[in-house]
Chains A and B, each alone.
Chain A
Amino acid sequence: MSVSVASRRWTRSAARERKRRLVNVLMLSLTGLATLLALVPLAWILVEVVARGSSALSVEFLTQTFKPTSLGGGGIWHAMVGTAILVGLASFLAVPIGILAAFYVVAHPDSTLGLAVRFGTDVLSGLPSIVVGLFIYTILVIERGYSAWAGSLALAVLMLPVVTRTTEEMLRLVPKSLREASLGLGAPEWKASFSVMLPAALTGVMTGLMLAVARVSGETAPLLFTALGSNNLSVALDKPIAALPLTLFKYAVDPSKVRNAQAWAIALVIIVLVLVLNIGARLIATWRSRMMR
């Protein structure tokens, strides 16, 4: 009697034990599966972009400007120049402000404004880029029309939180003693910041800049209301200007097959740029953290 009860209990608990182990293995493998599954779209996009993009890519495509499809469709030189100007000018605007704001946050970490700014950068980086485009439209474009200036400003607003955040994190890693030593030697605070702290954090700031550039060089939505796009090669800052993502958008929704093929080639150019910047930033960061150790 007692033996059978005990054995029944034993079988029951053995069954439960088996179930627990089964659930354990099952759920753990599901998490691994989810990770694999996430790699599918990434690999799929990269393979398609490389396969379809490389067939339309040529030296002429990169060096010619716009031509009608009846004349072969031309190239994207004007859009590459446009994107370089937009992103370059945006970096020029965003980097100084971003670095200075990061110095403020690091110098006053617990003050109300310091906390508010840290919070603000987080929130700003989550704002839809199209809203930023509309904002620049209302303050600049309504009065003065579409221009490269407006486009760069929109991109600068999008870069600002990325630059501030990464700079802030890197400045935090700089040993306090460096700053204290320079102040102790009588250096004014700005000198301690710019000649001691900033060089020590420079690689980190560079990676932040690279990530920010990677983020905005593919941005399309804010440019619709600001830079507008153009078929001409233009370097004037007060006129509408072409940009790679805008041209990609226009060509992808174009009914012409030639344009669609060109859209893939532009996608390849943008993807290569973005990947190089991202992987480069990651490599620099890894190299730097090894040096620190």
Chain B
Amino acid sequence: MLPKLAAPRRPISSSIARALQHGDLAYQGLIALSALAILGLMVGVGVMLWIYSEPTRIAAGWSFVAETEWNPVGDIFGAAPFILGTLNTSLVALIVAFPLGLGIAIFLSELCPVQLRTLLGFVVELLAAIPSVVYGAWGIFVFIPAFVQPLGNFLMNTLGTPGRVPFLPIFQGPFFGASTLAAGLILAVMILPTISAISRDVLLAVPRAQREAALALGSTRWETIWQVVLPYGLSGILGGIILGLGRALGETMAVTMVIGNVSQISTSLLNPGYSMASVIANEWGESRTPMYASALIEIGLLLFVTSLLLNVVARLLVWSVSRRTPDAGGGRA
């Protein structure tokens, strides 16, 4: 354009030019942008779900979580049955998976020969690789008829019969197979690898000297584990449990396929139920009105906030153990 441009302009732009010359500035910007994208995604999820759940948030406010009726035809949307259903299935899963997962973690970190540890750990973690929808199909056709049915019938006829002396309403009938219990048990299998893998890593991070000191004082192996190793790694194990809980809360397909999908509040684990994730997946196709869609998105928002909080707490707990012991000795003393 103008001949002015051809004139030397070294003084002003030389530092910028030098930065641009090798592409370092562009590179730094690019990687920082990608890093920000990850954080932006998390914020974006929350913001978008917040915006699109506006109709029900304005119409119902906080009563959305307390309202027990779910009647899309009558425009009544209450999330209480799903919140309770999610809590129930997750609790069943935790009660079953926690002792097993901890046992596996102890076995892998304290007892198992090192060569076998990697292999066994990998095999247990394969449980996490099986897709949710395959668990669901296995649940419908195999697990419920072969295991949950007999177990549920037994519980219903013994502990769950009104009038008999130890009577537990949580095992009251009617029972048809698809139930909170079935969903909880499948969830237990699905979160087992999460709990066991994280607890194992936490136990391996416990310094060797701790174990050696306890053994030298005459403790048995178990006393060493129970009184020294576990307390040392307690917060990390707790983190593993919370991560497992987080996984159980958000699990969708397997639960949808075995829980029965009935929006009711019931004290019995043997009755069909519904969970937050499964109502979204199951009723999405039917949500014709804006209010209906907004209600489902608000349930998604609740799910997002809950799992975000759980994950943050759990990660901080796990980090606290691995940070405390930078030179993790690990393994058998």
Asked if A120 and B129 sit within 8 Å, CB to CB, the answer is no
| B131 surroundings in chain A (CB, below 8 A) | 217-220, 245, 270, 274
In this complex, the interface size class of chain B, counting residues with CB under 8 Å from chain A, is 35 or more
Asked if A32 and B107 sit within 8 Å, CB to CB, the answer is yes
Asked if A97 and B37 sit within 8 Å, CB to CB, the answer is yes
Asked if A252 and B250 sit within 8 Å, CB to CB, the answer is no
Is B151 an interface residue, CB under 8 A from the partner? no
In angstroms, Cα B141 to Cα A267, docked, is: 13
Asked if B137 and A131 sit within 8 Å, CB to CB, the answer is no
Partner of B124 from the list A28, A39, A107, A218 (CB cut-off 8 Å) is: A39
Q: Of residues A20, A31, A224, A267, which shows the largest number of chain B Cβ atoms within 10 Å of its Cβ?
A: A31
In angstroms, Cα B222 to Cα A23, docked, is: 8
Q: Of residues A35, A101, A113, A278, which shows the largest number of chain B Cβ atoms within 10 Å of its Cβ?
A: A35
| B130 surroundings in chain A (CB, below 8 A) | 42, 45, 218, 271, 274
Asked if A221 and B252 sit within 8 Å, CB to CB, the answer is yes
In angstroms, Cα B226 to Cα A25, docked, is: 13
In angstroms, Cα B34 to Cα A164, docked, is: 10
Partner of A188 from the list B27, B137, B220, B303 (CB cut-off 8 Å) is: B27
| B73 surroundings in chain A (CB, below 8 A) | none
| B100 surroundings in chain A (CB, below 8 A) | 34, 37-38
The interface on chain A, measured as residues whose beta carbon lies within 8 A of the other chain's beta carbons, has a size of 86
Is A15 an interface residue, CB under 8 A from the partner? no
Partner of A42 from the list B28, B127, B310 (CB cut-off 8 Å) is: B127
Is A238 an interface residue, CB under 8 A from the partner? no
Which A residue's beta carbon lies closest to that of B52?
A: A138
Is B247 an interface residue, CB under 8 A from the partner? yes
Q: A48-B142, A221-B281 are in contact. Are A123 and B222 (CB under 8 A)?
A: no
Asked if A188 and B23 sit within 8 Å, CB to CB, the answer is yes
Q: Which of B97-143 contact A (CB under 8 A)?
A: 99-104, 106-108, 110-112, 120, 122-124, 126-127, 129-138, 140-142
Asked if A117 and B35 sit within 8 Å, CB to CB, the answer is yes
Q: Which of A109-142 contact B (CB under 8 A)?
A: 113-114, 116-117, 119-124, 126-132, 134-135, 138-139, 142
Partner of B108 from the list A35, A127, A252, A253 (CB cut-off 8 Å) is: A35
Is A76 an interface residue, CB under 8 A from the partner? no
In angstroms, Cα B325 to Cα A143, docked, is: 50
Asked if B39 and A34 sit within 8 Å, CB to CB, the answer is no
Interface string of B184-204 (1 = CB under 8 A from A): 000001001000100000000
Asked if A35 and B251 sit within 8 Å, CB to CB, the answer is no
Is B243 an interface residue, CB under 8 A from the partner? yes
Interface of A, secondary structure class, is: helix
| B249 surroundings in chain A (CB, below 8 A) | 128
Asked if A249 and B133 sit within 8 Å, CB to CB, the answer is yes
Is A248 an interface residue, CB under 8 A from the partner? yes
Among B43-51, B62-70, B153-161, B163-171, which stretch is in contact with chain A?
B43-51
Partner of A39 from the list B123, B252, B277 (CB cut-off 8 Å) is: B123
In angstroms, Cα B104 to Cα A33, docked, is: 8
| B16 surroundings in chain A (CB, below 8 A) | none
Is B30 an interface residue, CB under 8 A from the partner? yes
Asked if A130 and B257 sit within 8 Å, CB to CB, the answer is no
Q: Which of A134-173 contact B (CB under 8 A)?
A: 134-135, 138-139, 142, 157, 160-161, 164
In angstroms, Cα B44 to Cα A157, docked, is: 12
| B226 surroundings in chain A (CB, below 8 A) | 27
Is B36 an interface residue, CB under 8 A from the partner? yes
| A101 surroundings in chain B (CB, below 8 A) | 31, 34-35, 37-38
Asked if B137 and A248 sit within 8 Å, CB to CB, the answer is yes
Q: A113-B36, A188-B24 are in contact. Are A123 and B308 (CB under 8 A)?
A: yes
Asked if B297 and A126 sit within 8 Å, CB to CB, the answer is no
Which A residue's beta carbon lies closest to that of B251?
A: A128
Is A91 an interface residue, CB under 8 A from the partner? no
Q: Can you show 25 pairs from A to B with CB atoms below 8 A apart?
A: A34-B104, A44-B138, A45-B138, A96-B34, A97-B38, A100-B35, A101-B37, A107-B31, A117-B35, A123-B42, A126-B247, A127-B45, A128-B251, A129-B250, A138-B297, A157-B41, A218-B134, A221-B253, A224-B284, A245-B133, A249-B136, A249-B257, A260-B141, A274-B129, A274-B130
Chain B residues with CB under 8 Å of chain A are 22-24, 26-28, 30-39, 41-42, 44-45, 48-49, 51-52, 99-104, 106-108, 110-112, 120, 122-124, 126-127, 129-138, 140-142, 189, 192, 196, 220-223, 225-226, 243, 246-247, 249-253, 257, 277, 280-281, 284, 296-297, 300, 303-304, 307-308, 310-312, 314-315
Q: Which 5 A-B pairs have the closest CB atoms?
A: A128-B250, A218-B131, A34-B103, A188-B22, A100-B34
